[in-house]
Amino acid sequence: MAAKWVRMVTAQTPTNIAVIKYWGKRDETLILPINDSISVTLDPHHLCTTTTVAVSPSFDQDRMWLNGKEISLSGGRYQNCLREIRACASDVEDEEKGIKIAKKDWGSLHILIASYNNFPTAAGLASSAAGFACLVFALAKLMNLSEDHGKLSAIARQGSGSACRSLYGGFVKWNMGKNEDGTDSRAIQIVDEKHWDDLVIFIAVVSSRQKETSSTIGMHNSVETSMLLKYRAQEVVPKRILQMEEAIKNRDFPTLAHLTCADSNQFHAVCLDTYPPIFYMNDTSHRIISIVEKWNRTEGTPQVAYTFDAGPNAVLIARNRNAATLLLQRLLFYFPPGDGVDLNSFLIGDKSILEDAGLKDAKDLEALPPPPEIKDNVPAQRYRGDVSYFICTRPGRGPVLLSDESQALLNPETGLPK
């Protein structure tokens, strides 16, 4: 044990977007929700967290760096995850490196953690979901946990509720559970990411001048003051969960779209019914909804679903590549980039969709015709700069280990950030 070794594990975990929303806790410490929720995991190529965890007898305290900056681990959420994971740790032996850790040693060994999001943080893109899922997954590998993903999911939940859903790819359901200790409040996979692989997902990162209410405070206030939330959780969501699971299994896009939009709207309705009221959507969010609703109505069957989390950003799920192309043309018509922003930084993620849409440069954007569903005599208004940028992505897989040590965020000798 005295040898100067560092054991390190690096993992990558996707973020996820709820299509049936989680809003409201019945236990704020254990993070137990008042209803089930369902999410789609996003392709980690475009939106994920990479986390390296290291253990060494030479470390004298637990430390963590997020996007290169050291942050405190003293918060209850980190402490809960670390304690729960340590409690499940097993013996580890790596003969090659001369490492031997007994189960009982984990309580006294310290951990260093480095985490990095491949997308802008604080843009309201659920970075804490990917972050806690990745931390728990990486620690589980480091400590050789024999527990299945379900157990890991229940641990990640104690870091950030929605993190429990990022332990799986594809479509995922978080069962609220019934036990007081939360052991049955964990995620399960409904279908993997290959089951419905023609979906295309856009995220519109909306410029906002408003300071937003954190989702922790927001849902606390909703539980305390919204009379509609209780009804939603008890009467509305259970039915929608069953319908959504069916829709996903059957790849029934119209039902998925209808439920996704209606549930997003109802979540924001509950926020408005909270006292004092919470506004996460702004005029740009409203415009995106109106554009999608108008197009869907014109087509006679939904081409796109929209959903909004605790912020103004829109997540748009297109039924297939063709619909995604037509959607992108609409989005870029209404929300062209602000001055000096080039197309290459305005659409990130899967940029090949630009080619499908026949868009190569700023000139093509300016030449986009108004969508045919606009029949009004008034010329369509364009809202330049109201969307900061778009991300094009798709449903993706769950967490993976990165065995290539060059991808590690910590130095294999010192355990400190590279």
Binding site for a second copy (CB under 8 A): 209-210, 227-228, 231-232, 235-236, 258, 261-262, 265-266, 268-277, 279, 282-283, 286, 289, 293, 297, 381
Nearer to a second copy, 69 or 211 (CB): 211
Q: Tell me how far CA of residue 394 lies from CA of 195, 196, 234, 338, 359, in angstroms.
A: 12, 10, 31, 26, 20
Would you state the structure tokens that stand for residue 200, as one six-digit string?
Answer: 């295309």
Smallest distance, Å, CB 286 to a second copy? 5
Nearer to a second copy, 276 or 340 (CB): 276
Is 316 in contact with 304 (CB distance < 8 Å)? Answer: yes
Nearer to a second copy, 4 or 209 (CB): 209
Smallest distance, Å, CB 224 to a second copy? 13
Residue 74 phi/psi, 5-degree rounding, is -80, -15
Smallest distance, Å, CB 38 to a second copy? 18
Nearer to a second copy, 85 or 261 (CB): 261
The C-alpha atoms of residue 195 and residue 8 are separated, in whole angstroms, by 34
Smallest distance, Å, CB 299 to a second copy? 14
Nearer to a second copy, 62 or 273 (CB): 273
Closest by CA to 39, choosing from 140, 168, 148, 125, is 168
The C-alpha atoms of residue 131 and residue 116 are separated, in whole angstroms, by 8
Which residues have a Cβ under 8 Å from the Cβ of 87 and sit 6 or more positions away?
none
Nearer to a second copy, 29 or 383 (CB): 383
Nearer to a second copy, 268 or 319 (CB): 268
Nearer to a second copy, 127 or 285 (CB): 285
Smallest distance, Å, CB 268 to a second copy? 5
The C-alpha atoms of residue 8 and residue 92 are separated, in whole angstroms, by 12
Nearer to a second copy, 231 or 355 (CB): 231
